[in-house]
């Protein structure tokens, strides 16, 4: 059986930050209940992708709470270029 945590990656167009982060946290803590919260957050951030992962880590210190990570993720996806959908007009007449 494949692990749903390993398959899930954050998609800005499809996923809402709070629900996605909490779902991943629940999945990972069910698999590894003895792991510290800081390590759980690090594993979840790896699933976000390069630019979003870097932006969240830049805004939060290492021992932030889950709420701090979610707030940073929501701010970044709604207020920065990382979360914007760029419209490209069709080429031609």
pTM of the entire predicted model: 0.81
Q: What is the pLDDT of residue 93?
A: 54
Average pLDDT value for residue range 23-32: 92
Per-residue pLDDT at 25 exceeds 60: yes
Q: What is the CA radius of gyration of the chain?
A: 15
Output the DSSP codes for 11-78: -TTT--HHHHHHHHHHHHHHH-TTS-HHHHHHHHHHTT-HHHHHHHHHHS-TT--HHHHHHHHHHHHH
Q: What is the pLDDT of residue 21?
A: 95
Q: What is the pLDDT of residue 62?
A: 82
92 pLDDT tier (thresholds 50, 70, 90): low
Using a pLDDT cut of 90, give the percent of the chain over it. Answer: 51
For residue range 78-91, what is the model confidence (pLDDT) as tens digits? Answer: 888 887 654 445 66
Per-residue pLDDT at 42 exceeds 90: yes
Q: Domain locations in the chain?
A: 14-83
């Amino acid at each position: 059986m494949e692990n749903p945590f390993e398959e899930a990656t954050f998609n800005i167009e499809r996923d809402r930050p709070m629900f996605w982060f909490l779902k991943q946290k629940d999945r990972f803590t069910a698999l590894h209940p003895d792991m510290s919260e800081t390590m759980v957050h690090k594993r979840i951030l790896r699933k976000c992708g390069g630019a979003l992962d870097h932006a969240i880590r830049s805004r939060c210190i290492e021992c932030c709470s889950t709420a701090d990570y979610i707030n940073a993720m929501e701010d970044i996806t709604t207020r920065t270029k990382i979360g914007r959908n760029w419209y490209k007009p069709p080429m031609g007449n």
